[in-house]
Amino acid sequence: MKAKVTVIGAGNVGATAAQRLAEKELGDVVLVDILEGVPQGKALDLQEAAPIEGHDARVVGGNDYEASAGSDIVIITAGIPRRPGMSRDDLLTTNARIIRDVTQKAVQRSPGAILIVVSNPLDAMCHVALKTSGFPRHRVIGMAGVLDAARFRAFAALELDCSVESVSALVLGGHGDTMVPLPRYCTVAGIPITELLPEVRVRAIVERTRNGGAEIVNLLKTGSAFYAPASAAVEMAEAILKDKKKILPCSAYLEGEYGIRGLFVGVPVKLGAAGIERVIEIPLLPEEREALHRSAAAVGDLVAALGRLSF
């Protein structure tokens, strides 16, 4: 039986994710949005591209969740976008309401689904989705580290004038200004970039990675990144649907790993058919562990703020 993936939110991230899911033939795709005609129109446009792209995925759109019933994966991209001068934290109240609403509607029709959350502020929205769905922690996953690591890899490859395929990277922590890129775990064909670049250039790449989203927001003026976030969510979905057991950095709900409990924080995990099949703990230097805990504390502040809101 063909898999089914529902994408909630037919904006730039959601529509691009739907396109890539269909073109990779990962399953049939349902695109949901509250704007009348938008998900239907974008889905029809994608379906009409199928003969040219050579895939047989069915893409449908709707303003309700009926077509989403029985989804294997639900990717949540709904929410207001980040705008110039706006921090991810500013999005908290409005997007918390949206995520609670769409999660309730999605899980009612797909109680066995795995949720991939993309909406910002990411780690806090994962918390809302987890509590709203009542799902076990391995079935609620945040898209953060895959995107942040991709930015790290892209900037390192540009600096070294080498193929991005040769570069691996790891970014831990919350999806925001406190994220923790780890230069000694960024390698080119197994060689740490710390052995290939002077420290000042490595620091510049780390700083650009931290500000990767804001850099795009400032350039676009009226929107935020969507190509790379969509690709990151689809890579996660593919690892799950194909049971690839792929090791990827994702926002996961920790229960003592890395000395952190009760928060979604970006860490390396094994993604397979069950969702998060293992949280992988890697050795960290004291300063790296301290930075990770500072990042987790920032996430904790957002979760505490959620508790004070009547959203």
Report, as residue numbers or ranges, the catalytic residues. 175
Q: Which amino acid is at 73?
A: I
The tokens for 153 are 């890899």
Closest-CA residue to 151 (of 205, 214, 192, 188): 205
How far is Cα 142 from Cα 129, in angstroms, rounded to an integer? 10
Closest-CA residue to 123 (of 281, 295, 268, 283): 295
Helices 38-53, 12-23: inter-axial angle, 10-degree rounding: 30
Q: Could you give phi then psi for residue 172, rounded to 5 degrees?
A: -110, 175
DSSP 268: E
How far is Cα 16 from Cα 107, in angstroms, rounded to an integer? 23
How far is Cα 268 from Cα 310, in angstroms, rounded to an integer? 33
- Residue 278 pairs with which residues in a beta bridge? 270
DSSP alpha helix (H) spans, the chain:
12-23, 38-53, 92-109, 122-133, 145-160, 199-210, 212-220, 227-241, 286-308
Closest-CA residue to 118 (of 86, 78, 150): 78
Contact criterion met (CB below 8 Å) for 18 and 59: yes
